[in-house]
Structure 1
Amino acid sequence: MSVRSVFDDAPFASSAMKFAEDFKRDTHPDKVNLAGREYVGDHGKTTWLPLIQKIKQQIITDPTLTPEYQPILGIPEFNRKATELALGRDSPAILQSKVFGVQTLGRTGAVRLGAELLRSWFCSGSSWSGPVLLSSPCDESLADTFKAAGIQDVRYYRYWDAESSRVCVENMLHDLENAPERSVVVLFASGHRPTGADLCQEEWKRVTEIMVSRQMFPFWLMPAQGLCSGSLERDAWPVRHCVSLGLELLCAQSFSHTFGLYGERVGHLFCVLKENLLAVQSQAERLVQTLWSCPPMDGARVVATVLSNPAHLAEWENSLKVKAERCMLMRERLRERLRLLATPGCWDNIIKSGGLYCCLGLTAQQVEFLSQRKHVYLLPKGCLNVSAINSRNLDYVAESIHQALTSQL
């Protein structure tokens, strides 16, 4: 007699990892993975910068460092430098001691910690349950992260218009104006995933005006500061603008893309408040103890070392500019190839987005055609990681996209 498992009724969960699994199983010699999350250089691999390798080696061999638990909120120097990177050293919030930071397990850990703080203490701590407003489309894990924290009222505002292949600011503004007051609005400061399309400063000002008038709370995401436009200041401008207006906010940062520290899970959450800062910080510390107890050390030490040394900082900033310029070059070359092939549609949106991602606005059938017939793997709606395009696969990718739009499926 067989014994049923207590987990017999558990269904398979859909996962973005399916793209990676399908790609690994594919044996075609010309296969291309454009659905990955990492920055991939022209050589087709993810590697550390020589500077990062050198600092990692220094940390490993430093006899003064001991394998002890770090403070619950993380390495203080890392928290300070991460906050300064986002807000600027002369930020009013920093100078007036209205901000605290917490080292987290990547950006996902930062979002989860922020969600837990909101659920417990937002709106006078009255067991708040939403709504949280996410962009449509957005990183698929975001909704699940908020729901895992007990916030079930997750809604969406329109962001990307598939027909015009651009951000539809008017739709976004309309949805925010008609959302409940005191909603939490999740926003990508730069490098929107999965479209790569960001708002300009004038558009961000219009969004901010609505958040102020509707008493909304911004929860910013900053997954790759400096890699989107090549400028640390430009990529952080929307967050700094909110701080300059005196808004309270949360911001989740990630250092995976910008430092190549994908396996170290180096994230950061900072909170800007008008008052009661120490009390909220103590609640964050209590929550961290239940989530991961204390964060890992080495990755955060690498980031803190770079950000604290002017020479290292200059070298790192230059590497970000090089990466951003290469991504833009790949965008321009892809658009030009599609133009020369007379591929149906207007492809100017490819060069109007920034950072790692862009969205081609393909149908589900066209995306399936690319993976099944051409062995080119993209995210839904034809969103892709442009850094995975290189001099060896550019022509094949462009020709495959052309065939997907012109073939009878």
Structure 2
Amino acid sequence: MSFFDGIPVAPPIEVFHKNALYLNETAPVKVNLTIGAYRTEEGQPWVLPVVHETEVEIANDTTLNHEYLPVLGHEGFRKAATELVLGENSPAIKEGRSFGVQCLSGTGALRAGAEFLASVCNMKTAYVSNPTWGNHKLVFKKAGFTAVNDYTFWDYDNKRVHIEKLLADLEAAPEKSVIILHGCAHNPTGMDPTQDQWKSICEVIKRKNLFTFFDIAYQGFASGNPDADAWAIRYFVDQGMEMVVSQSFAKNFGLYNERVGNLTVVVNNPAVIAGFQSQMSLVIRANWSNPPAHGARIVHKVLTTPARREQWNQAIQSMSSRIKEMRAALLNKLTELQTPGTWGHITQQIGMFSYTGLTAAQVDHLIAEHKVFLLSDGRINICGLNTKNVDYVAKAIDETVRAVKSNI
């Protein structure tokens, strides 16, 4: 007899399960397009040079110690992260209506923000895009939301943002619903609304009295320009919207296992900040109590040192450029092979992911016959492509779509 008898085995988390299958595969030729992490031309993780240099300096700084950070985190990091996403000249910053909360990467920021909204503000209904990042629904349900619904995002037939249905779904959402929006490089589709579409989305959210929760995991990494990647968020701020913004520094700093994140908060009345921060402190206290210092120190030093900031800008431009080159290479090869279907969306998308349009059956075929590993919804990590394997992947896709017909 055990207290734990009868606990069912949960289904595996697909992205990590598929990555494990790849690692355990013994075939001499195999390709990993699963987990969302940047890879170099050689297929290896990349430590940004500016991050390495900063880590060495921090390690040699004898004035630093390992005392606890404040509950809300490293003050300099919080300020720098908030300025990065809102812009140094943001009206919310100038008017003292914004602040940051250091969290455990983007997931921790989502969880802290969701738990605060559910437990303190009694918001219990959320909407996520269909499709969305695989962890969004789980985070909001575990944080206390009783209804996590979908709003239409993707037009599967035309491989574009289905703006008409998206707006209609937001129109139908009950007042005070929390709307989770991807700030840039939508995961998994890689397709973002246009600026005019963002304006329409903002208008509906404002008019219907819905609450905005941005998730931006790829700022700077997506286009190579942090300001361009934050355009939608800054537009919403300019329209007087209150919001919370989950920020991750995993991709754009390569700090995946340091779990560096920030929750930027924008309010309309600075008088509410004291109460907000006190209640958020209790949320953090009950979860991780105090955040870790190392990654926050790295990001803070890089963002606030002009020479290092420029090195970082060059690094994110390099990463985003390689991704764009691989998108073009894959499209060119599929075009050359005259692969059935339409594939122009591959280069219209942005960021590390491409929602290819491949079906679950085609994905199974790719894995079984060609050892090209990807998620069952057809999402691939473009970073897994390089000049040595892109031809192989294109030929594998070509053979697959000819052998396994799509019903879409």
TM-score interval (norm. to shorter): over 0.9
Residue 158 (structure 2) aligned to one of 158, 161, 164: 164
Asked if 1:332 corresponds to 2:328, the answer is yes
Aligned to 2:284: 288
1:37-94 Cα shifts (integer Å, max 9, x gaps): 1111111011201211111111112100011111111110000000000001111101
- Does structure 1 retain, via aligned residues, the 8 Å contact 2:184–2:216? yes
Out of 356, 361, 364, the position equivalent to 2:357 is 361
Q: Which amino acid aligns with 2:7?
A: D
Partner residue in 1 for 2:103? 104
Separation (CA, whole Å) in 2 of partners of 1:209 and 1:10: 45
Could you tell me whether the CA contact under 8 Å between 1:177 and 1:214 is conserved in 2? yes
Structure 1 SS opposite 2:278? helix
Structure 2: any 5+ residue segments left out of the alignment? none
What is the CA–CA distance in structure 1 between the aligned matches of 2:83 and 2:10, rounded to whole Å? 42
The match for 1:185 is 179
CA contact (8 A) 2:38 2:251 kept: yes
Tell me which of 144, 150, 154 is aligned to 1:150. Answer: 144
Q: Which one of the candidate residues 398, 401, 407 is aligned to 2:403? A: 407
Report sequence identity in percent.
Answer: 37
Deviation at 1:128, TM superposition (A): 3.2
Aligned pairs for 1:13-28 (under 5 A) are 13-16=11-14, 17-28=16-27
3-state DSSP class of the match of 1:355?
Answer: coil
Per-residue CA distance 1:137-166 (angstroms, 9 max, x = gap): 111111010111111200000111222122
SS in 2 for 1:381: coil
| 2:348 aligned residue | 352
Match of 2:10 among 12, 16, 21: 12
Distance 2:339 2:5 in 1: 49
How many Å separate the matches in 2 of 1:70 and 1:254?
19
Alpha-carbon distance between aligned partners in 2 of 1:68 and 1:375, rounded to the nearest angstrom: 47
Which residue matches 1:141? 135
Code of the residue aligned with 1:170 in structure 2: it is E
SS in 2 for 1:342: coil
Residue 392 of structure 2 aligns with an amino acid whose one-letter code is Y
Q: Which amino acid in structure 2 is aligned with residue 310 of structure 1?
A: P
Give TM-score, length-normalised by structure 1. 0.96
CA-CA distance at 1:178 after TM superposition: 1.3
Specify the alignment match of 1:202 in structure 2.
Answer: 196
Identify the residue that residue 38 of structure 2 maps to in structure 1.
39
Counterparts of 2:237 and 2:384, CA distance in 1 = 35
Partner-residue secondary structure (3-state), 1:384: strand
Cα deviation for residue 380 of structure 1 reads 2.5
Other-structure match for 2:298: 302
**1:58 partnered with 2:60:** no
Asked whether 1:372 is paired with 2:368, we answer: yes
Q: SS at the partner of 1:24?
A: helix
Alignment partners' CA distance in 2, 1:128 and 1:315:
42
Aligned length: 402
Moved over 3 A (4+): none
Q: How does 1:248-287 map to 2 (within 5 A)?
A: 248-275=242-269, 276-287=272-283
Q: Following TM superposition, by how much is the alpha carbon of 1:5 offset from its aligned partner in structure 2, in angstroms?
A: 5.4
Please point out which of 123, 144, 151 is paired with 1:128.
Answer: 123
Q: CA deviation at 1:4?
A: 4.6
Structure-1 separation of matches of 2:286 and 2:354: 37
Counterpart selection for 2:339 from 330, 339, 343: 343
Code of the residue aligned with 2:387 in structure 1: it is: S
Q: Distance in 1 between matches of 2:175 and 2:327?
A: 39
1:10 partner letter: P
For residue 10 of structure 2, what is the amino acid of its counterpart?
F
Query: In structure 1, how many angstroms separate the alpha carbons of the residues matched to 2:264 and 2:178?
Result: 16
Aligned residue among 238, 246, 249 for 1:244: 238
Counterpart contact for 1:194–1:383, Cα < 8 Å:
yes
Match in the other structure for 1:381: 377
The answer to whether the 8 A contact 1:100-1:281 is kept is: no
Query: Distance between the aligned counterparts of 1:232 and 1:408, measured in 2?
Result: 40
The aligned counterpart of 1:392 is 388
User: Residue 58 of structure 1 aligns to which amino acid in structure 2?
Assistant: E
